[in-house]
């Protein structure tokens, strides 16, 4: 349910920014949202004030207005944050930003991968993986690479909600299931 709500807000923001008279590019909007999220992450007091039901919405709006002006947020982003405050959805802001980024990536033909391998992949292997995924999907591919020695070998690639598990750990688990008669 929270994801559906976050998607709805992200879609609404993309609709506003997609209008011909929009003063803000979608990429700049994402950066501004990330800047504001950075403030929330850094300041427990700000986070508590915006999440607290004891603080009046007008005071929250005033606070966001002042902070938004200080860090250079544009009017569409400030208005978006006001809407989030008015509907008591501040706790979903991270999900809204992630949904908006996913929409932006999709509109730009970008696929984001999260790649975890047992040990660091060298640059040529990373490039080969990205090139292969790009050819298969027809999308421009960007990835974050991580290491997890518990995988034992191989790699796990996540694209959205799809998981490609080519790790040695997964293969050993599958073999264990076959030998135990569970498959």
pLDDT tens for each residue of 16-67: 888 777 788 889 999 999 999 999 999 999 999 999 999 999 999 999 999 9
SS3 122: coil
**What does pTM read for this prediction?**
0.73
Structure tokens at 174: 């599958």
Q: Are strands 162-165 and 140-147 parallel, antiparallel or unpaired?
A: unpaired
Nearest-5° Cα angle at 103, 160 to 46: 95
Residue 177 is predicted with a pLDDT of 78
Residue 152 is predicted with a pLDDT of 80
Is 81 within 8 Å of 68 (Cβ atoms)? yes
Structure tokens at 72: 């250079």
> Which positions of the chain have pLDDT values less than 50?
none
The CA distance from 50 to 69, in Å, is: 17
Domains of the chain: which residue ranges?
2-105, 110-179
Query: DSSP assignment, residue 148?
Result: -
Cα–Cα nearest to 161, from 6, 29, 3, 22: 3
Is 113 within 8 Å of 141 (Cβ atoms)? yes
């Amino acid at each position: 349910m929270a994801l559906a709500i976050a998607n709805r807000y992200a879609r609404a923001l993309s609709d506003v920014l997609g209008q011909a008279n929009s003063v803000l590019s979608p990429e700049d909007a994402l950066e501004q949202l990330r800047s504001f999220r950075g403030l929330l992450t850094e300041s427990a007091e700000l986070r508590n004030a915006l999440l607290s039901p004891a603080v009046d919405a007008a005071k929250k709006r005033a606070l966001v207005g002042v902070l938004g002006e200080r860090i250079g947020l544009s009017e569409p982003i400030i208005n978006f944050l006001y809407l989030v405050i008015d509907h008591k959805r501040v706790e979903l802001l991270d999900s809204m930003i992630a949904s908006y980024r996913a929409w932006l990536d999709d509109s730009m033909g970008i696929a984001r991968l999260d790649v975890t391998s047992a040990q660091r992949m060298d640059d040529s292997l990373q490039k080969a993986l990205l090139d292969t995924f790009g050819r298969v999907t027809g999308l421009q591919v960007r990835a974050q690479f991580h290491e997890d020695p518990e995988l034992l070998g191989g790699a796990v690639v996540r694209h959205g909600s799809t998981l490609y598990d080519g790790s040695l750990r997964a293969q050993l688990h599958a073999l264990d299931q076959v030998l135990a008669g569970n498959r």
